Amino acid sequence: MALLTALHEISPNRFFNMLRDAANVDEFYNAALALGYAANSKELRDTYEEQVHSLSEDIRREVEELNSFFRIKLFPSSPSQKQSWENFVSRDLGGRYAFRDDGSLEISLLDAKLSDSVLHVKRVWSHVSSFGGSLTDFKIKLDANQVTELRTRLAEVRRIRSGAVLPP
CB-CB neighbours of 36 under 10 Å: 22
Q: Is the pTM of this model over 0.85?
A: no
Smallest Cα–Cα separation from 43: which of 12, 6, 17, 22?
A: 12
Q: pLDDT of the chain along its 168 residues, tens only? A: 788 888 878 878 888 889 888 888 899 899 999 988 888 887 776 666 788 888 888 888 888 999 999 999 999 999 999 999 999 888 887 777 788 888 899 999 999 999 999 999 999 887 665 788 888 899 999 999 999 999 999 999 998 888 755 555
Cα distances (angstroms) measured from residue 80 to each of 43, 76, 111, 142, 151: 44, 8, 26, 12, 23
* Angle of CA points 38, 106, 55, to nearest 5°: 25
The per-residue pLDDT for 130 is: 76
Q: In the prediction, which pLDDT does 82 show?
A: 93
SS3 content of the chain, % helix, strand, coil (to 5): 50, 15, 35
CA–CA gap between residue 158 and residue 13 (Å, rounded): 31
The amino acid present at 66, given as its one-letter code, is L
Buried b / exposed e across 101-132, counting CB within 10 Å, b at 16+? eeebbbbbbbbbebeeeebebebbbbeebeee
So what's the pLDDT on residue 100? 86
